[in-house]
Structure formats: C-alpha cells, structure tokens
Amino acid sequence: MSGRLAGKKALVTGGARGIGGAIATAFAREGADVAVLDLKIEAAEARTAELAPFGVKTFAVAADVSDEAQVEAAVRKVEGALGRIDILVNNAGIDTTSVVAEMGTAMWDQMMAVNLRSVFLCTRAVLKPMIARKFGRIINIASQLGHKGAPEMAHYAAAKAGVIGFTRSLAYEVARDGITVNAICPGPIETELFKALPEEWKKRKLGELPIGRAGHVDEIAPTAVLLASEEGAYYIGATMNPNGGDVML
Ligand SMILES: NC(=O)c1ccc[n+]([C@@H]2O[C@H](COP(=O)([O-])OP(=O)(O)OC[C@H]3O[C@@H](n4cnc5c(N)ncnc54)[C@H](O)[C@@H]3O)[C@@H](O)[C@H]2O)c1
C-alpha cells in the first residue's frame, strides 16, 4: 500500500458523513486502515463500504462519543480489528441554536457532553498505547466559532474553545512521546449539520465571510491528512484554520 499514511491505523469519530466522512475517505486514499465510529452501525458501515476501492482494512463501530463505557468498548474493538490506533480524529459533533437567555440547561449539558467531554473520553481511551509506542496523531475538529463566538451559539462556541484549550494542553503533555495534538477550526461547511441551522443564521454567517460561500468537506480533509502524515510532525498544539477568511489567524 502506498500513500502518505501507508501502514497507519486511524479512528475517525462521526466518520459516517460530513467532514468526518471526507477525512475517513482521504485517509483511506492515502493508504491508512480506517475505523469509522458513529452513532448508528448502518451509517458507519455505509462509509466503510465506500472505502473498499482503496484496498485498505476498514472497521465500522457504533458508539455515542459522550458515553464513557461505549467509548472504551469501541476503542478496544477498533484495536482488536486494526491492531492499534495511530491516528485519532475527534470529529463527532452536534450543533443547536439558542440565545443564552432562553437556553435550557439540558441543551447546554448535551453540547458539552457531545462536543467537549467526548474529546477527552476518546483521547484518553487511545493515549496510553500511543505513549507506550512513542507515536500518535490526535486531530480535534473544533470550529472558527471557538475563536470568534456567534450569537445563539454560546454553548457551541464554549465547547469548541474548550477543545482548543484541551488541544494545546495535551500537546504540551505528549509532544516528547512522539504524539502530536492539533485542532482544525473549519468555517461553515456544507454538511447536514450546517444545512440544519436556521436560514437567517446561515445567511448572516455567509455574509460575514470574505470568500462569500460555505466550504466543501474536501476543503477540510487535506488539512487532516497533513496533520496525520510525517510532513505534519512539527505541528504541535496548532489550530489550523480553513475557514474562508472568517477569522484571519
Ligand atoms: N459543518 C460546519 O459548518 C462545521 C464548521 C466547523 C466545525 N464543524 C465540526 O465538524 C464536526 C463534523 O461536523 P459535520 O458538519 O460534518 O456534521 P454532520 O452532522 O454532517 O456529521 C457529524 C457526524 O457525527 C455523528 N455524531 C453526532 N453525535 C454523535 C455522538 N454522540 N456519537 C457518535 N457520533 C456522533 C453524526 O451521526 C454524524 O455522522 C463537528 O465536530 C462540527 O462541530 C462543522
């Protein structure tokens, strides 16, 4: 198998569709064996079926990334199927909207669980074997809203800012163990998550963008390939910003 990720074993959470789906496909194209984790096994399997032409080993697993026991069980299954995990992409996430004055505690808690707690749970589940092998790549899908914030998205922006802080802190801890930890902060990308947002919100957001359009998932996946590859070895605690110019960092 040739490619920039040949011989590597990757786990992509929320990999059935959207940005995670594109990353799973890009990794397989570059020669990595790929495990796709998602809420529904059928959705994860549909994605791994699409990876068949690349001739890599694939594995589909169902879990809710906010549930500690499910995450631990899923990671052990992936290790059993692929042998080990070299690359973890913490991509699974949700989006909802509410002004803070009207936001229910359940909405806040769900956001923290799915978009932030999950990153801790999935990372911890893969970390010790990576440290023992002195190699790992952890790529966290945050958002430009983690830098910038947005009305009706205080919970989402807070969770994504949390992901950025987690990324930087863990990067300090494990850089000398051969593990890189980085975040990607996409701008608005044409996925089911983005399409489901209120029309007014999307119109306002796209109007703010220098590029004047939403991005495509294939405009995010190459950044994940770079961070996962040997060429990405010197990125430590970075936030990569393919965002249409929304935040110029
Ligand atoms: N689309 C955007 O505009 C955009 C912008 C910036 C960041 N992001 C982030 O990118 C990531 C992917 O988003 P997307 O736009 O591809 O969304 P999407 O809804 O198209 O895909 C998300 C995937 O995650 C899965 N998922 C959701 N909750 C889960 C859970 N609890 N356990 C396991 N899997 C779960 C879904 O089933 C789905 O397959 C998210 O973290 C999102 O916050 C998206």
Residue 227's CATH number: 3.40.50.720
Q: How far is ligand 1, taken at its centre, from the CA of residue 132, in Å?
A: 30
Query: Which atom of ligand 1 lies nearest, measured to the CA of 189?
Result: 3
Stretch 198-209: mean pLDDT: 95
Q: Please report the atom of ligand 1 found closest to the CA of residue 90.
A: 41
Catalytic residue flag (residue 156): yes
Helix (H, G, I), strand (E, B) or coil at 37: strand
> In percent, how much of the chain has pLDDT > 70?
100
Partners of 60 in the beta sheet?
36
Examine residue 67 and state whether it is found in any structural domain, yes or no: yes
Q: How far is the CA of 81 from the centre of ligand 1 (A)?
A: 24
Q: pLDDT (tens digit, 9 = 90+) per residue, 119-158?
A: 999 999 999 999 999 999 999 999 999 999 999 999 999 9
Answer whether residue 246 is part of any domain.
no
Residue 249 lies in a domain: no
Does residue 4 belong to any structural domain of this protein? no
Q: Note whether residue 160 is domain-resident.
A: yes
**Exposure string for 80-93, b = 16+ CB within 10 A, e = fewer:** eebebbbbbbbbbb
In a domain, 146, yes or no: yes
Query: Measured from the CA of 113, which atom of ligand 1 is nearest?
Result: 31
144 within a domain of the structure (yes/no): yes
How far is it, in rounded angstroms, from Cα 113 to Cα 165? 16
Element (H, E) at 167: helix 154-174
| CB-based contact 87:8 (threshold 8 Å) | yes
Cα 211 to Cα 81, 185, 217, 233: the distances in Å are 42, 16, 16, 30
User: Does residue 1 have a pLDDT over 90?
Assistant: no
**Which three-class secondary structure state does DSSP give residue 129?**
helix
Number of domains composing the chain: 1
Q: Which residues line ligand 1 (CB under 6 A)?
A: 13-14, 16-20, 38-39, 64-66, 91-95, 114, 141, 143, 186, 188-189, 191-194
In which band, very low, low, confident or very high, does the pLDDT at 203 lie, cut at 50, 70 and 90? very high
- Mean pLDDT of the chain, nearest integer: 98
Burial of 22 (0-12, 13-18, 19+ CB in 10 A): buried
Q: Which domain range does residue 106 map to?
A: 9-240
Edge-first strand listing for the sheet containing 239-240: 58-62, 33-38, 9-13, 87-90, 136-141, 179-184, 239-240
Can you tell me the distance from the alpha carbon of 17 to that of 181, in angstroms, rounded to the nearest whole number? 23
Environment class of residue 178 by beta-carbon count within 10 Å: exposed (0-12), middle (13-18) or buried (19+)? middle
In-domain check, residue 104: yes
